[in-house]
Structure 1
Amino acid sequence: MNVGQPQDLYSAQTGKWASLTVPIHITSDGTHTVSYTVTGKNAASTSYIVGIDYLTLTQTNN
């Protein structure tokens, strides 16, 4: 299942980070996989690279 819209997180500065919130609702028990797909690049960028430093998962009671 794809969740969210494409995001342009390009920065000319190396080491700059951005925060992105994507709501994912898990409705069943068991093991689940979250993946991130690079679908393109900003015209100012010279390559394709993405780094994920951490994920924060929050339990809700909806």
Structure 2
Amino acid sequence: MKTLYDVQQLLKRFGIYVYVGKRLYDIEMMKIELEKLYENQLITKDDYLKAELILRREHRIEEEKAND
């Protein structure tokens, strides 16, 4: 797992499709959904941590774009 697309595919395996309309909000919603999957032990700790890092990176990138 290396990209936001990979995280989307992970969520899709559980029937979770996230589209709020703004990329930053999509990333935040994916983070919430990811946490719920991990809390319910549906994904491994390794997958959770990898996806979390990807979402943090993408969130930071989007915030930097908004501040320019």
Q: TM-score range by the shorter chain?
A: under 0.3
Give the structure with the larger helix fraction: 2
TM-score (norm 2): 0.27
Higher RCO, 1 vs 2 (CA within 8 Å, ≥6 residues apart): 2
